[in-house]
C-alpha cells in the first residue's frame, strides 16, 4: 500500500499535469503574504512599546541572518507537510472512489468527506424485506456506511419465484432491491440492474429482472449465493452489507382467521385474509452466520417498515436469528407502517402491529416504537387501505417497555410509503438522543439483575 501511495504521489510531479504551476503560485502568494505581514510587524515593533517577553518571542537574541534562516526553514517545513498531507488524502479519497465505482464525478471535497467520515457512523442492522427495507436503506446510506441489511428469503412470486423453482437458488429479488438502494454506482448502472424485461422479450426472459439474472449468474461463477451477493455489491459499490437471513429453502405458512392454512408468500399476499399465526417451513432453518455476528455487534437494530407478515416477521421466525436479536444490547427500533395492508392488517393500529410481533416471538423486545404523526390525510379509496395510527383508547400493555416516538415520516407523494430522508433522520435522531446516553431503562434493569 505504501508503494502505491508513493507511485500516486510521484505522478503529481509529471510535467504537463497542470497542477504544479498552481502549487507554485500558492507558494509565491503565501510568501508575499508573509512578507507583507513582516513589514507591518516591523513597523509596529519600531513605533510601539512592547512587553519584555517580546525580546524572546521575536528572537532578538539571534543574529538577523539566523532568524531569517530559521523562519524560512519552519515555513518550508509547514508548507511541505501541508501540501503532502492534503495530496495524500485527496489521492486516497479518489482511489477509494475509483475502487468502488470507477469514479463518481463528485467534487473532491465530497470524496474526502466520505473517505474520512463515512465509516464512523453507528453500526446499523436493518431487518425486513420488500419495498420498505429498500426505502429505509436509501435514507440511512447518507448517514453511515456501517449498514447491514438482513433480508428475508421467503419470496416465491414473480421473477424471484421462477428462478427459485427453476434453479434452486434463494430468491434474489429483495437482495437486488437492497443492492440498488445502497449502490454508489452510476445511476445508469443502477437503472440497468433494476430493469425488467417486458412482454414480448422472448420465452424465458419475459418478466425477469436483469439484476436477478445478474445475481444468479454471479452465483454460478463464484460458486455460492453468498459470494455472489458480496461480489455484486463490490461491482456496484454498495455501502454496507446485504445478508440473507438464512440460506435454507424456506416457505411461509399462514393460518388465517377462518382456519385455513395458506402456503407461499405470493399466495398469502393475494389471499388478502386476516392472519392469526405465521410460521416457516421448515420451522428450524439455520441462520446465516454473518447475520448473527452483525446483530451481536450492532449499535442499533431497525425492524421494518414493510409488510408485517411477509417482510418483517419472516426474519424473526428464524430461531437463531430471533434469539440473537432478543439478546442483543443494541437499541431496538420498530418502524410502524404508515398504511394498512388490504386483508392482512385491516384497521390495525400501531399497537396491533407490535402485538402481532410480540405474539410470534414472545414478548416485546423494542426500546423504541417509531410511529407516523402525519396520519390525518385520507388515502384513495381504490387502495383499500387506511393510515396506521396510535390508538389512544387502547391499553398500552404491549408498549409499556418501549418509548413511543412520533414523527412525520410519510412520503407526501405516496402516502402508502415512508419518505426515505425523513425516516432516516427520525431514526438517527432517536438513536443519538436516547441511545448514546446509555442503554434503555429496560436494559439497565436487565443488567442489574444479571449483576446480582
Q: What confidence tier does 394 reach under pLDDT thresholds 50, 70, 90?
A: low
Pair 81, 128 in one domain: no
The helix or strand, by DSSP H or E, that contains position 361, with its residue range, turns out to be helix 350-361
Statement: residue 449 has pLDDT above 50: no
- Together in a domain, 59 and 135: no
Q: Which residue has the higher pLDDT, 106 or 327?
A: 327
Residue 17 or residue 15, greater confidence: 15
Measure the CA–CA gap between 409 and 174, rounded to whole angstroms. 22
Query: Does 172 map to a domain?
Result: no
Report how far residue 384's alpha carbon sits from residue 250's, in angstroms, rounded to the nearest whole number.
30
* Residue 204 belongs to some domain of the structure: no
Model confidence at 101, in pLDDT bands (50, 70, 90)?
very low
Q: Tell me what the mean pLDDT of segment 215-233 comes to.
A: 92
Mean pLDDT of 174-190: 85
Q: Specify the DSSP element, H or E, that contains 363.
A: none
Residue 10 confidence (pLDDT) above 80 = no
Q: Write down the pTM of the prediction.
A: 0.74
Radius of gyration of the chain (CA): 29
Please state whether the peptide bond connecting residue 391 to the residue before it is cis, i.e. omega within 30 degrees of 0. no
Question: Does the structure show a pLDDT above 50 at 214?
Answer: yes
The answer to which of 11-25, 50-64, 327-341 has the lowest mean pLDDT is 11-25
**In-domain check, residue 200:** no
pLDDT on residue 444: 38
Cα 149 to Cα 302: distance, rounded to the nearest angstrom: 10
Pair 128, 274 in one domain: yes
Does residue 291 sit within a domain?
yes
Q: Say yes or no: 113 and 143 in one domain.
A: no
Q: How many domains does the chain have?
A: 2
The three cell numbers locating residue 118: 463515512
Nearest of 399, 401, 424, 400 to residue 411 by alpha carbon: 424
Q: Helix or strand or coil: residue 57?
A: helix
- 143 and 50: one domain? no
Task: Find the range with the poorest average confidence among 50-59, 231-240, 258-267, 315-324.
Answer: 50-59
Residue 296 sits in the same domain as residue 310: yes
Beta strand spans in 74-152 (E) = 124-128, 147-151
Residue 301: inside a domain: yes
What per-residue confidence (pLDDT) applies to 290?
95
> Would you place residue 145 in the very low, low, confident or very high pLDDT band (cuts 50, 70, 90)?
confident
Residue 187: its pLDDT value, please? 79
Instruction: Give the closest residue to 318 by CA, choosing from 285, 363, 360, 366.
Output: 285
> Are 19 and 143 part of one and the same domain?
no
Q: Taking the CA of residue 14 as centre, how many other CA atoms within 13 Å lie in the half-sphere pointing to its CB?
A: 8
Q: Which one has a higher pLDDT value, 423 or 104? A: 423
CB-CB contact of 284 with 321 (8 Å): no
- Provide the 3-class DSSP secondary structure of residue 209: strand
Q: Are residues 304 and 388 in the same domain?
A: yes
Residue 334 forms part of a structural domain: yes
Geometric angle at alpha carbon 418, from 380 and 215, rounded to 5° = 110
227 lies in some domain: no
| pLDDT digit string, tens, across residues 238-291 | 889 999 999 999 999 999 999 999 999 999 999 989 999 999 999 999 999 999
337 in a structural domain: yes
**Taking Cα atoms as reference points, which of 159, 174, 168 lies closest to residue 206?**
159
pLDDT at 16 over 70: no
What band does 314 get if pLDDT is binned at 50, 70 and 90? very high
d(CA 73, CA 266): 74
Question: Please, which pLDDT band fits residue 334 given cuts at 50, 70 and 90?
Answer: very high
| Burial of 127 per CB tally in 10 Å (0-12, 13-18, 19+) | buried
User: Do 126 and 54 fall within a single domain?
Assistant: no
Average pLDDT across the chain, whole number: 82
- Cα–Cα distance, 176 to 214 (Å, whole number): 9
pLDDT: which is higher, 55 or 448: 55
Residue 56 has pLDDT above 50, yes or no: yes
C-alpha to C-alpha distance for 103 and 243, rounded to whole angstroms:
26
DSSP states along 296-309 = HT-SEEEE-SS-II
> Does residue 253 sit in the same domain as residue 114?
no
Q: Are 129 and 260 within one domain?
A: yes
pLDDT given for residue 254 in this prediction: 95
Domain that holds residue 425: 122-152+245-447
- C-alpha neighbours within 13 Å on the C-beta side of residue 87: 18
Predicted local distance difference test score (pLDDT) of residue 60: 75
CATH code of the domain containing 353 = 3.40.50.10680
Are 246 and 240 in contact by the 8 Å Cβ rule? The answer is: no
127 and 55 both lie in a single domain: no
Q: What is the pLDDT of residue 400?
A: 57
CA dist 265 and 313 (Å) reads 12
Amino acid at each position: 500500500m505504501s508503494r502505491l501511495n508513493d507511485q500516486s504521489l510521484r505522478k503529481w510531479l509529471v510535467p504537463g499535469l497542470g497542477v504544479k504551476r498552481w502549487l507554485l503560485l500558492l507558494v509565491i502568494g503565501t510568501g508575499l503574504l508573509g512578507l507583507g505581514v513582516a513589514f507591518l510587524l516591523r513597523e509596529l515593533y519600531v513605533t510601539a512599546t512592547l512587553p519584555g517577553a517580546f525580546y524572546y518571542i521575536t528572537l532578538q537574541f539571534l543574529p538577523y541572518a539566523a532568524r531569517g534562516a530559521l523562519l524560512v526553514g519552519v515555513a518550508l517545513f509547514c508548507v511541505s507537510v501541508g501540501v503532502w498531507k492534503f495530496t495524500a488524502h485527496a489521492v486516497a479519497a479518489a482511489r477509494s472512489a475509483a475502487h468502488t465505482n470507477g469514479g463518481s464525478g463528485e467534487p473532491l471535497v465530497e470524496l474526502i468527506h466520505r473517505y474520512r467520515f463515512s465509516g464512523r457512523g453507528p453500526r446499523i442492522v436493518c431487518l425486513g424485506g420488500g419495498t420498505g427495507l429498500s426505502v429505509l436503506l436509501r435514507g440511512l446510506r447518507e448517514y453511515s456506511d456501517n449498514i447491514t441489511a438482513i433480508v428475508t428469503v421467503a419470496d416465491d412470486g414473480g421473477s424471484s419465484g421462477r428462478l427459485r423453482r427453476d434453479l434452486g437458488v434463494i430468491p434474489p429479488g429483495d437482495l437486488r432491491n437492497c443492492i440498488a438502494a445502497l449502490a454508489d454506482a452510476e445511476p445508469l448502472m443502477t437503472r440497468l440492474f433494476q430493469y425488467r424485461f417486458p412482454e414480448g422479450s422472448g420465452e424465458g426472459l419475459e418478466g425477469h429482472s436483469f439484476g436477478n439474472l445478474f445475481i444468479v449468474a454471479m452465483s454460478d461463477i463464484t460458486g455460492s449465493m453468498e459470494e455472489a451477493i458480496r461480489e455484486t455489491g463490490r461491482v456496484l459499490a454498495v455501502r454496507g452489507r446485504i445478508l440473507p437471513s438464512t440460506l435454507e429453502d424456506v416457505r411461509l405458512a399462514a393460518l388465517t382467521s377462518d382456519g385455513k392454512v395458506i402456503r407461499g408468500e405470493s399466495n398469502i399476499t393475494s389471499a388478502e385474509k386476516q392472519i392469526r399465526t405465521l410460521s416457516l417451513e421448515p420451522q428450524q432453518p439455520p441462520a446465516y452466520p454473518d447475520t448473527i455476528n452483525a446483530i451481536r455487534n450492532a449499535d442499533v437494530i431497525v425492524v421494518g417498515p414493510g409488510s408485517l407478515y411477509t417482510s418483517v416477521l419472516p426474519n424473526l421466525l428464524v430461531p437463531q436469528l430471533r434469539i440473537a436479536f432478543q439478546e442483543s444490547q443494541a437499541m431496538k427500533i420498530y418502524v410502524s407502517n404508515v398504511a394498512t395492508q388490504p386483508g392482512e392488517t385491516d384497521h390495525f393500529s400501531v399497537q396491533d402491529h407490535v402485538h402481532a410481533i410480540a405474539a410470534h416471538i414472545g414478548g416485546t423486545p423494542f426500546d423504541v416504537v417509531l410511529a407516523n404523526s402525519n396520519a390525518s390525510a385520507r388515502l384513495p379509496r381504490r387502495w383499500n387501505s387506511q393510515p396506521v395510527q396510535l390508538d389512544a383508547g387502547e391499553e398500552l400493555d404491549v408498549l409499556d417497555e418501549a418509548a413511543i416516538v412520533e414523527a412525520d415520516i410519510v412520503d407526501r407523494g405516496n402516502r402508502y410509503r415512508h419518505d426515505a430522508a425523513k425516516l432516516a433522520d427520525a431514526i438517527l435522531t432517536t438513536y443519538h438522543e436516547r441511545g448514546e446516553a446509555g442503554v434503555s431503562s429496560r436494559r439497565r434493569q436487565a443488567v442489574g439483575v444479571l449483576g446480582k
